[in-house]
């Protein structure tokens, strides 16, 4: 999270973690936009 966010709120910490999980799990996916749309 260093360099990405200037301040991390305890209130939204679970959302930050979920974003990093999504990015890590889809790091090899060429169609990342399609994966994000399908996840909604």
CB 38 within 8 Å of CB 32: no
Encode pLDDT of 1-40 as tens digits: 556 667 778 898 999 889 889 888 888 888 878 877 888 8
Q: Which two tokens stand for residue 17?
A: 């973690």
| Per-residue pLDDT, 34 | 84
| Per-residue pLDDT, 7 | 78
The torsion region of residue 3 among left (phi > 0), alpha (psi -120 to 50) and beta comes to left
| Per-residue pLDDT, 14 | 92
Q: How far apart are CA 30 and CA 35, in angstroms?
A: 9
Eight-class DSSP state of 10: G
| Per-residue pLDDT, 11 | 93
The pTM (predicted TM-score) of the whole model is 0.58
């Amino acid at each position: 999270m260093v360099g990405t966010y200037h301040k991390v709120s305890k209130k939204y910490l679970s959302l930050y973690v979920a974003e990093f999980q999504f990015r890590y799990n889809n790091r090899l996916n060429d169609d990342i936009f399609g994966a994000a749309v399908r996840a909604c």
